[in-house]
Amino acid sequence: MFNKASSETKGINILKNEFLNKNTAFTLEEREKLGLTGLLPDAVNTIEQQCQRVLGHLSDKDNDLERYIYLTGLLDRNETLFYKVIMSDPARFIPILYDPTVGDACLKFDAIYRRPRGMYVSLRHQGKIEAVLRNWPHKDVRFICVSTGERILGLGDLGANGMGIPIGKLQLYTACAAIPPINLLPVLLDCGTNNKTLLQDPLYLGVRENRPQAPQMDAFVDEFVYAVQKVFPDCCIHFEDWKGLDAIKYLAKYRNKVCCYNDDIQGTASIVLSGLITALRIKKEKLKDQKILFLGAGSAGIGIANLLESAMKLEGLSEKEARERITLFDINGLIEVSRKDLTDSQKIYAKTLASSKDLVQVIKSIKPSVLIGVSTQGKAFTQDVVQTMSALNERPIIFALSNPTDKAECSAEDAYTWSQGKALYAAGVQFPTFNLNGKTFYPGQANNFYIFPAVSLAVFATKPKTIPDALFIRAAQATSDQISEEDSTKGRLFPLQSNILQTEITTAIQVAQLIFDQNLATVERPKDIKAWLEQMLYQPEYTSIQKMLS
């Protein structure tokens, strides 16, 4: 890993290296050989004892943002211990490292900043992005998660403060699917910001300019995408939290040219499809027979609609028939043919119906069986909305997917109360269990972390040149298939988070098999895909002294 003569593997420097540092877990022999004797307390701890100390520190913190900051500091000091802790209990730590806490972290990112993680590629680097990327010390980068910070969760344009998102997403690659962290690179494309508050903030860390016009932005993104191909030829680009139109445009531009995907579009669509598969299994119905209404017609809404259309066609519908079953409603009302403000991706779902800005009336008119919220309009699913859905359906499917929590279209408590317990409900954040009339309800969390780490693990293993939607449909089915009959009878729509690592590995095996079946892989197909993939998994265990000095 390092040359034995390097000062990086001697004395105090090894304690400052987050990849090699074991801190109190260095044995007495290692301390002698590495020049650490006297630099550490006398006791030698196991990594389990160190975890116990970390958990004690976390319990003393007052809130999850403080826990997030502490864990970030731990990662800066000792990467192995960080992943040992979070992989020991992903259900506990996902809400701290990612949604909803990461939203608070991004809002305060410039204030809580400690040390750099990942790369900041700014407009000032245009013309030399390839050279900038070569500054990254690890050469086998297999995934880049990249954001412009322009549409962070439901919080809007946070500019360079959005770097918390690529960092958090890639941590979930490892926590949920055991992808080695050394192969992951968070990137913030710093294109300035139109957020006046940030531009006036003396601590703001990004380019203090308004965002560029489309031609300059297109050239900037193009240079970045193709620089990645030269510097990291086996790398998959994960687009995350881009502005709606840009998200759709750039995915369409690059998806058939390079290995890439957009989690907000494809990952969100896949986990929604997975939840619908489970809900419809409970209802004993098929997807092709549903009428689906979206509140929200941005990149997430369009992405979900497109994937559901593809899934409906797999069940035998024509493209026209599938699109007829999908209706969109946005801030300006029903997506219908007379509107002049529609994008090309919205027009294909436009209905020949009278214009309306009344969601309840649209529900009464089209009679949907599924209502999906991706609007970032908190509490948009009012009591009238939920009760109307419940009057039309014995078991209405209601997904309130916007996040963070205050952006959810309705809470689990409201959905179950207003539907008198009839709703099959999921949200983008995890709501607590809810008791109504002596029955316990288990709201699902339709969060992409069930999908994108699993798909990425399959991609990591098979190295496909492109990533078609079929992989996300397979991931949705594989995730749903792992819900037991007992859990589905309780209304659970997604697997338990406590077993997320095994869930994702099982899904990844299915996705990898499809990659081989469709001749997308650039590696030889193994005889036993499961065993082959499992031997690649990251284990959060300390490096031996022999490897350090080899």
> Residue 155 CB: number of other CB atoms within 10 A?
20
The distance from CA 501 to its chain's CA centroid, rounded to whole angstroms, is 15
Four-residue CA torsion sign, 388, 389, 393, 395: negative
287 closest CA partner among 348, 370, 350 = 370
535 burial type by CB count under 10 A (0-12 exposed, 13-18 middle, 19+ buried): exposed
Identify whether the C-beta of residue 202 lies closer than 8 Å to the C-beta of residue 113: no
Candidate list 22, 84, 169, 422, residue with the active-site label: 169
Identify whether the C-beta of residue 442 lies closer than 8 Å to the C-beta of residue 491: yes
Residue 411 CA to residue 429 CA, distance in Å, equals 10
Candidate list 98, 173, 254, 542, residue with the active-site label: 98
Residue 119 CA to residue 138 CA, distance in Å, equals 12
Q: Encode burial over 8-22: b for 16+ CB neighbours within 10 A, e otherwise.
A: bbbeeebbeebbbbb
Identify whether the C-beta of residue 191 lies closer than 8 Å to the C-beta of residue 212: yes
Query: Using omega within 30 degrees of 0 as the cis cutoff, is the peptide bond preceding 404 cis?
Result: yes
Residue 240 CA to residue 151 CA, distance in Å, equals 9
Per the DSSP assignment, residues forming a β-bridge with 172 are none
DSSP conformation letters of 195-208: -HHHHT-TT--S--
- Strands 434-436 vs 439-441: parallel, antiparallel or unpaired: antiparallel
Query: In the annotation, is 98 catalytic?
Result: yes
187 closest CA partner among 230, 242, 108 = 242
Identify whether the C-beta of residue 235 lies closer than 8 Å to the C-beta of residue 141: yes
Q: Encode burial over 23-51: b for 16+ CB neighbours within 10 A, e otherwise.
A: bebbeeebbebbebeeebeeebbebeebb
Dihedral class, residue 23 (left if φ above 0, else alpha if ψ from -120 to 50, else beta): left
Dihedral class, residue 443 (left if φ above 0, else alpha if ψ from -120 to 50, else beta): beta
Identify whether the C-beta of residue 381 lies closer than 8 Å to the C-beta of residue 413: no
Return the active site residues: 98, 169
